[in-house]
Amino acid sequence: MPRKTPIDQILSELHSNAERPFEGARAAPAGIYTSPDFLELELEHVFSKEWICAGRAESLKKTGDYLTLQIADQPIFVIRDKSGGIRAYSNVCLHRMSILLEGTGNKKFVTCPYHAWSYDLDGNLRKAPYMDGTPEFEKKDYCLPTIRCELWDGWIYVTLNPDIEPVAKRLQSIKDIVTGRYQFENYVETFREEHIWDTNWKVLAENFMESYHLFQLHGPTIGKQSKVEEMDMPPGNAVFNYHWITKESEFALANAHPDCRYLEGEWRRTTALITIYPGHMITLTPGYFWYLVLQPHGVGQVKMLYGGGMAPDFINDPQGAEHVAKAKQILDDVNEEDRIGTQAVFRGMNAGLARPGHLSYLERPNHEFNQYLARLLTGATACPEPLPEALSAAC
């Protein structure tokens, strides 16, 4: 059974497949999706070491707006402070270690739900009821630990790694190659949701990074508007992979708005699908965008942040609200097909006779993703287009 394959064997199979040229590569071994030992390695060497996306900066508009997330075993909250900056803290109380904040919301102060110790937006303890009788207690000794938090291209990123490069430097190539063309920083987020699906996080990640499945799995929705023969999968680099697809012009929301001046020719109907390692995926069309941020939730579940929005021309259109509602409906319908598909893959991977087959030429990004995992977990060196040494050192 793949589930019981020893971790050394799983790593060795991942390694040898990753070092293979793409033309002879297969899907990754089932064990990387089903083994609790592999998940532990991922949490320690991937999620705890990389920049992790927390969503769009515009989702924290006002002072005190906050969101929460977790990286490996560390709960985090991210909050808009009084000076308009965005800061991240450990989401664990300094008294008896309760979680402080849940979900999203707005707080003037962060007050623990257990005994009401209360922190200001700079993380300093400002009130601690009934602590006057504890002679050694000094309020000023208590300040929530900060977590590195930086912005890139309108996204909030956090990391537990004190040594990794600034996120804007690390991801600059993505802006140069893909998102800059669409003037993505001006798109407007219109929804942000969280879901849990019954599949391994990498099954969903890999589902996103290939459009090979569109004509079949998405046959009832968008399958017919996406042309396999017009898909282009250029090599990515150490921090991301991507591919382009074109959409039929009758799919108006995925095409440039008539008022859009910055996209020309084929770019007016070209969609970019970007995977920023380990688990931030963005579909960027001339009309709308949507994204996923994936975190493991045990071996057999994935916690996903699912959000999206539209280009400013569509939002500002007199029919803006209609466009937003229509795009959301399409995305939800497509997402439901992906949920069914990725859950079926995970069930299959747990079978005793499950074996990885060869990859199609349309699945180049999947092989690059496996190479990325192998670089971090097995010491593999295969990389499509290595970054300069300063950047790749932290790969």
**Which one of Fe ion, ligand FES, none is in contact with 127 (Cβ closer than 5 to 8 A by kind)?**
none
95 or 175, CB closer to ligand FES?
Answer: 95
131 or 394, CB closer to ligand FES?
Answer: 131
33 or 117, CB closer to ligand FES?
Answer: 117
**Which one of Fe ion, ligand FES, none is in contact with 338 (Cβ closer than 5 to 8 A by kind)?**
Fe ion
- In the complex, least distance from residue 72 CB atom to ligand FES, rounded to whole angstroms: 22
| 3 near ligand FES, judged by CB under 6 A | no
- In the complex, least distance from residue 312 CB atom to ligand FES, rounded to whole angstroms: 43
- In the complex, least distance from residue 71 CB atom to ligand FES, rounded to whole angstroms: 21
113 or 234, CB closer to ligand FES?
Answer: 113
| 338 near Fe ion, judged by CB under 5 A | yes
3-state SS string over the chain? CHHHCCHHHHHHHHHHHHHCCHHHCECCCCHHHHCHHHHHHHHHHHHCCCCEEEEEHHHCCCCCEEEEEEECCEEEEEEECCCCCEEEEECECCCCCCECCCCEEECCCEECCCCCCEECCCCEEEECCCCCCCCCCCHHHCECCEEEEEEECCEEEEECCCCCCCHHHHCHHHHHHCHHHHCHHHCEEEEEEEEEECCCHHHHHHHHHCCCCHHHHCCCCCHHHECHHHCECCCCCCCEEEEEEEECCCCHHHCCCCCCCCCCHHHHHEEEEEEECCCEEEEECCCEEEEEEEEECCCCCEEEEEEEEECHHHHHCCCHHHHHHHHHHHHHHHHHHHHHHHHHHHHHHCCCCCCCCECCHHHHHHHHHHHHHHHHHCCCCCCCCCCCHHHHCCC
90 or 98, CB closer to ligand FES?
Answer: 98
Between residue 142 and residue 161, which ones bind ligand FES under the rule CB under 6 A? none
**Which one of Fe ion, ligand FES, none is in contact with 96 (Cβ closer than 5 to 8 A by kind)?**
ligand FES
Between residue 75 and residue 134, which ones bind ligand FES under the rule CB under 6 A? 93, 95-96, 98, 112, 114-115, 117
Binders of ligand FES: how many residues, by CB under 6 A? Answer: 8
- In the complex, least distance from residue 257 CB atom to ligand FES, rounded to whole angstroms: 50
Q: Which residues bind ligand FES (CB under 6 A)?
A: 93, 95-96, 98, 112, 114-115, 117
